[in-house]
Structure 1
């Protein structure tokens, strides 16, 4: 995870200071941007909360107004890390299409390099926050005579990954995508178009769309004469034939078209300053109790999988009279040394909040683990006020970050605590920030125990990963095989809130052990049907062959342990892009299975789906392409680009790869970081300097680790000058050899 004072926030802070050098003249229609006050610095994050573009400044001397030079005194030195000056935004437009729980967002905007001299240039960094569980689909940027675009490729030899540099682009945070455009002239405009997907949250019977749209005041153009227009086009298709009602909207929307289950809305207005609030839209369908549908669609002729597609979704409308299951919950928390500091404190707060929401007839247990396990009680206890108070005191006393990470012994002991009765739902809430080498073995043991006990009596294992050092596909596998729920937090700011949401969703079960009676040749993602909860829709999708029934019957068990059946309407659809909606779930499910089974063919299949749908995966990489005019060489051997006023002869467009973006996947954990108890964070690729220092350090460590420290010191104190010169040259040679490797 990033600290508040990392390179990015330091660069933005320095950039805002440098922006004060820009002279705007005496025109009354021009208003200089307000500086950020110390109070605002303390309360506001410098990470982007809306689409942003920054000028990357290494040489502060080039900072000036390109239209009105101020001839300020020369500034000596360089900025390290580079200063990031937020560019002024000329125009912004969003197109949002919501289907079920997925939103496809297309952002188009224009920014001007207002802070660099007209005869100088700089790189520009685009930063896009992507909303809840956002995933990048692609980006296009146009500048004078050039255009840039992203493309997914398969990295068969590992060359793309080794060539990736963080500064070129990738994920600044899991929800913030960045890319860098080189050599942009001062005073020029950049047109940026970015596409991504994000989740539509379902809570308390309503759908909530939240698109990052809160622009800081300093991106508003200085000139009041420049018209500023905001535009958001929103289309909603909930997949039902009932009407949709809008409950709340942050920006005034005009209804353009309404059909059963569909809405077409538009927000368009001229503004004095850009929006300072996110775009939030809440809506619900006119229905009661459980509602859902099955959507069918045939694949396109170009699809690599020619089986038909389906998507089943089931939502639970809030009903206070509806019972939830009685629970037996065991909370297993990693308290290894890497969890020290703020991470363990936030985890404790979230755990105490989860315990407080247990019903009086629920049973609970708590286990802290590192190298060993530490139990609150050898048996599960009723969630009375007195026992919960004692549990909170035990957590404060025993949740001390120290030691290593041993997951298998913790999970084995937790399973022994359950009573094995069918009158309650056994649950394990497993929280960790690390990875271990026996993760596949743990999954195999859990599978065997599930087979022996039966899936109905085997605990739901709900998993939560903190940071990027844990193996998120191992945690997905544990949850998927046991009908559990997986979630994660990569950012210290979101640990407590996401963990509370995860525990709340997993605890609000209203229907379990769900079965569907589809065609015989049916493949679903995830491979095991999860339970239905209040605040989490049940959405499964997949492929099938043969004829799908006209009505689908879903069977399950409700809170009073009786069987329950619901008939779900089946309909064919052409206006919902199922292939794109299924892609992320399909890729995650296949990747989890490929990790567990070490299946290379399945990895190749994931890569093909990723390339076909434009959805990022662990087995593909994103590269940046540059397209510019290609000119015929003149008779003198030079291109026509510099031949005076004569228009050059253009042969066409030339496209070339300029760099690889840093890997956009989650990865499969970092056992070295876990072994060394490094606190969780969102990993950045090492710079070239880091690699050289690491190589040098490893070389010297290898040499001197062979010697006793005191013997080495005593020997060095007795050598003459000639020997010391030889020793120095030898160390230098070894260092260079390690760097070359």
Structure 2
């Protein structure tokens, strides 16, 4: 028994309860702890969440009394925090982030023999990549837990075709503890290891539960799309299969400035060589290198013949670093070559053009003002093809890269400077290497729909999915017809879908799998996510309007977004402690969650032997003794 008590604090229960309905996941993490010691202890609750998730609820229950969290406009919560600081009260700031996750932290000082329950809820829309939806859970309790459980229920009205569950910490013995079942529309995964199964060895007190737990699944697709209508809201999933692949025209714009020397340029060469192995014979490609000067492999796009690919491999092996960072020159040269290929009809009319730019620094040669660069790049591309910006390491102006990508129908991605950086680069290329459709438009009757999310997409890539949601102008309307058009490899493809609320209701008779108004919340989630993207590159009045819209939706649907905070306050008779949870988007870490924690009554100073262990992850509870 004592082996799962760490210096007086025992986490005796931890549960992750997830419900997924039509790709929209609601996750509830509950952690219960008791102070077995004979003095007050500060107990911390740390959770690492997916960056794409929004916290929607948090509460602490101490000795049977629950203290809920309240979503507030961020500035109001910040003022509450600063007021406490101005009075000289103890304040702390916690900030942390991983590649896929961001951290939520809260703490409470509890008396001897007292119990505390933490409950956190977050929601997210699962994205489809490489033909599967993925749910990612970070597991790291750092303590043996008597009652530990992950329970995931999935309901998909289209039907489930495959379901996988794996953990980076799963041993052969633990593999049998994962219980997985699925049939027709329902899937279920349970992972409930005993105390002995959690141990690293027979008599050890260390836990094996340390790593990532991942669930992947896909749905049946008898038609290219699926439309669902519930209570005046709809969601439309579009993912056609078995289409011929479009040829692609791809320009790689690579930073070779001095800061890329060593491991970074080695990994870049390694990734590009692997990418060359995957380029198809009907693709066109070229490399632009920029240091202080701009170097091109060829003056125009080159067809991916075996001979040209061999020559390209020699060129890539010889890439080395030099000089400073003429990002503007490299970008404009790449755009110029791609534009010329289209104007001269050198590439097929039905082909998908892409620019991928990789940099690890900030522009400092030629035009170095990032706003000027964005203006020139947007004018040169004119919306004709997407720009994908990859920021390598910590020295990049990631905000600039993100704005420039979003303005040009692409996205930015951070490449982390680890041993697998080459795999990260290659993995991103794999996501965009199989375009199946261009200029996809999903048309909904204008007079029937309001609050429509993004419905125009430059490219549809194999293994992904387009999701559009909206609400009916008349909440009593219960049917919808949608027309979808896109440019395929051989011709224009058209799809028409009709659906009514009654058909959806028939598919959703298993009510225990449904959590409330999930389509309305999915619509709100997707709308907020896309408005935040628009807001990233907006200025002036447009930014103000977007900010107001995001704030209104965040407060209405109780999402912790970059514009809101969750405030948790305990009454005065319990040290009147309060906390503020934020979600930010600027700089690094990307979208980190920050937890401000302060005490409205000063605590006694910690003695020199106070133990402050490292911060732990999913539902971990730890303490600081005073």
TM range (shorter): 0.7 to 0.9
Matched, 1:410 2:357: no
Residue 185 (structure 2) aligned to one of 234, 251, 261: 261
Q: Tell me the TM-score normalised to structure 1 length.
A: 0.62
**CA shift in 2, pair 1:354/1:134, >3 Å:** farther
Give distance in 1, aligned partners of 2:454 and 2:272. 27
In the alignment, what sits opposite 2:236? Answer: 312
Give distance in 2, aligned partners of 1:190 and 1:323. 57
What are the ranges of 5 or more consecutive residues in structure 2 without an aligned counterpart? 167-176, 199-207, 506-513, 597-626
In the alignment, what sits opposite 1:107? Answer: 29
1:475-509 CA-partner distances (Å, limit 9, x unpaired): 45544554435444567477444433321121111
Give distance in 1, aligned partners of 2:525 and 2:322. 35
Matched, 1:507 2:433: yes
Give distance in 1, aligned partners of 2:389 and 2:465. 18
Please report how far the alpha carbon of residue 553 of structure 1 lies from its aligned counterpart in structure 2 after TM superposition. 1.8
> Is residue 344–residue 399 contact of structure 1 (8 Å, CA) maintained in 2?
yes
1:158-204 CA-partner distances (Å, limit 9, x unpaired): 75797999954444436141313143446654322122235545355
After TM superposition, the structure 1 = structure 2 runs for residues 161-310 of structure 1, keeping only pairs within 5 Å, are: 167-173=92-98, 175-185=101-111, 188-198=114-124, 200=126, 202-203=128-129, 205-213=131-139, 219-220=143-144, 228-240=146-158, 243-250=159-166, 251-253=177-179, 261-263=185-187, 270=194, 272-274=196-198, 276=209, 278-288=212-222, 291-298=224-231, 309-310=233-234
Please report how far the alpha carbon of residue 554 of structure 1 lies from its aligned counterpart in structure 2 after TM superposition. 0.7
1:81-109 CA-partner distances (Å, limit 9, x unpaired): xxxxxx65311222211234442211112
Residue 93 (structure 1) aligned to one of 3, 15, 29: 15
Residue 531 (structure 1) aligned to one of 454, 459, 466: 459
Matched, 1:558 2:488: yes
Give distance in 2, aligned partners of 1:340 and 1:123. 46
Matched, 1:621 2:573: no
In the alignment, what sits opposite 1:427? Answer: 354
> Is residue 27–residue 121 contact of structure 2 (8 Å, CA) maintained in 1?
yes
**CA shift in 2, pair 1:101/1:161, >3 Å:** farther
**CA shift in 2, pair 1:161/1:215, >3 Å:** closer
Give distance in 2, aligned partners of 1:364 and 1:244. 38
Give distance in 2, aligned partners of 1:88 and 1:340. 49
**CA shift in 2, pair 1:684/1:104, >3 Å:** closer
Please report how far the alpha carbon of residue 326 of structure 1 lies from its aligned counterpart in structure 2 after TM superposition. 0.9
Give distance in 1, aligned partners of 2:75 and 2:148. 43
> Is residue 335–residue 344 contact of structure 1 (8 Å, CA) maintained in 2?
yes
Please report how far the alpha carbon of residue 564 of structure 1 lies from its aligned counterpart in structure 2 after TM superposition. 0.9
In the alignment, what sits opposite 2:617? Answer: none
> Is residue 172–residue 178 contact of structure 1 (8 Å, CA) maintained in 2?
no
Please report how far the alpha carbon of residue 621 of structure 1 lies from its aligned counterpart in structure 2 after TM superposition. 3.4
Please report how far the alpha carbon of residue 237 of structure 1 lies from its aligned counterpart in structure 2 after TM superposition. 2.6
1:443-499 CA-partner distances (Å, limit 9, x unpaired): 544454455xxx5xx222223344677565654554455443544456747744443
> Is residue 58–residue 69 contact of structure 2 (8 Å, CA) maintained in 1?
yes
**CA shift in 2, pair 1:529/1:333, >3 Å:** same
In the alignment, what sits opposite 1:607? Answer: 551
1:415-449 CA-partner distances (Å, limit 9, x unpaired): 11121031422110123455678545445444544
Residue 367 (structure 1) aligned to one of 275, 278, 288: 288
Matched, 1:658 2:578: yes
Stretch moving more, 245-254 or 157-166: 157-166
After TM superposition, the structure 1 = structure 2 runs for residues 665-684 of structure 1, keeping only pairs within 5 Å, are: 665-667=584-586, 669=587
Give distance in 1, aligned partners of 2:299 and 2:351. 19
> Is residue 476–residue 592 contact of structure 1 (8 Å, CA) maintained in 2?
no
In the alignment, what sits opposite 1:568? Answer: 497
> Is residue 358–residue 383 contact of structure 1 (8 Å, CA) maintained in 2?
yes
Greater RCO (CA < 8 Å, at least 6 residues apart): 2
Give the count of matched residue pairs. Answer: 539
SS in 2 for 1:520: coil
In the alignment, what sits opposite 2:619? Answer: none
> Is residue 103–residue 593 contact of structure 2 (8 Å, CA) maintained in 1?
no
Please report how far the alpha carbon of residue 563 of structure 1 lies from its aligned counterpart in structure 2 after TM superposition. 0.9
Higher strand share: 2
Which one has the largest radius of gyration? 1
> Is residue 51–residue 591 contact of structure 2 (8 Å, CA) maintained in 1?
no
SS in 1 for 2:239: strand
> Is residue 228–residue 499 contact of structure 2 (8 Å, CA) maintained in 1?
yes
After TM superposition, the structure 1 = structure 2 runs for residues 375-394 of structure 1, keeping only pairs within 5 Å, are: 375-394=296-315
SS in 2 for 1:525: coil
Give distance in 2, aligned partners of 1:533 and 1:568. 21
SS in 2 for 1:368: strand
In the alignment, what sits opposite 1:464? Answer: 390
In the alignment, what sits opposite 2:611? Answer: none
Give distance in 2, aligned partners of 1:484 and 1:378. 25
Give distance in 2, aligned partners of 1:681 and 1:483. 20
Give distance in 1, aligned partners of 2:59 and 2:483. 45
> Is residue 154–residue 188 contact of structure 2 (8 Å, CA) maintained in 1?
yes
Give distance in 2, aligned partners of 1:563 and 1:438. 41
What are the ranges of 5 or more consecutive residues in structure 1 without an aligned counterpart? 1-28, 34-54, 56-64, 67-86, 222-227, 299-307, 631-653, 671-679, 688-741
Matched, 1:118 2:38: yes
Give distance in 2, aligned partners of 1:577 and 1:594. 25
